[in-house]
Amino acid sequence: MSLHDYRMSLRLEGVEGVTFRAHIMAAMRRADNDNLARLESLFPEVLAELRARYNAPGGHLPDDGTLIQSFADV
């Protein structure tokens, strides 16, 4: 880890309403192949959901309730 990574983690931590799963999904989006494999071994259900939502229109899956219109609605 670098000082930059540490400081970025502080900024992410301060974002109101961002869940742990959202942080994991974001990490998976940015991960290289080796790190994605590590994350998948720990959080296989999160990666499965990320892939399903990536391929779904607007990330909306059939079993979702009300469609969230914007990030402000989260």
For residue 65, give both structure tokens. Answer: 């309730």
Contacts of 36 (CB under 8 A, 6+ apart): 28, 47
- With 90 as the cut, is the pLDDT of residue 69 above it? no
Quick one: pLDDT at residue 31? 97
Number of other residues whose CB lies within 10 A of the CB of residue 47: 19
For residue 20, give both structure tokens. Answer: 């742990």
Quick one: pLDDT at residue 9? 87
pTM of this structure:
0.74
Block residue for tokens 């670098």:
2
Confidence of residue 68 (pLDDT cuts 50, 70, 90): low
- pLDDT tens for residues 10-43? 888 888 888 999 999 999 999 999 999 999 999 9
Helix axes 33-42, 44-54, angle to 10 degrees: 120
For residue 29, give both structure tokens. Answer: 């989006």
- With 70 as the cut, is the pLDDT of residue 7 above it? yes
